[in-house]
Amino acid sequence: MVQAVITLTEHEDRVVNAVKGKYGLKNKSQAIEHIILAYETELLDAKLRPEFIDKMQQRQKEPVVTVKDMREHF
């Protein structure tokens, strides 16, 4: 695990404390981790990751099943 010393403004410290309180986290480290994970999801899910593209290209090569009547099939 990497440890870092960071400098926060008073406002940023309040935001971290608010996240800590809202989610019932034990310390500021967990609050910062929560913020990072939320931002990561927002940032990385907006674009298609290379692993996802590779997976979808493999799925395109799979055989297709045709169904005449969906109600009857399911």
Q: pTM for this structure?
A: 0.57
Among residues of the chain, what percentage have pLDDT more than 90? 46
Query: What DSSP letter does each residue of 17-45 carry, written as one string?
Result: HHHHHHTT-SSHHHHHHHHHHHHHHHHHT
Hey, what are 27's tokens? 């310390």
Which amino acid is it at 33? E
Cα–Cα separations (whole angstroms), residue 11 to 8, 16, 17: 8, 9, 10
Question: Regarding predicted confidence, which is higher, 66 or 12?
Answer: 12
**Token pair for 55:** 């997976």
Element (H, E) at 61: none
Neighbours of 20 (CB within 10 A): 19
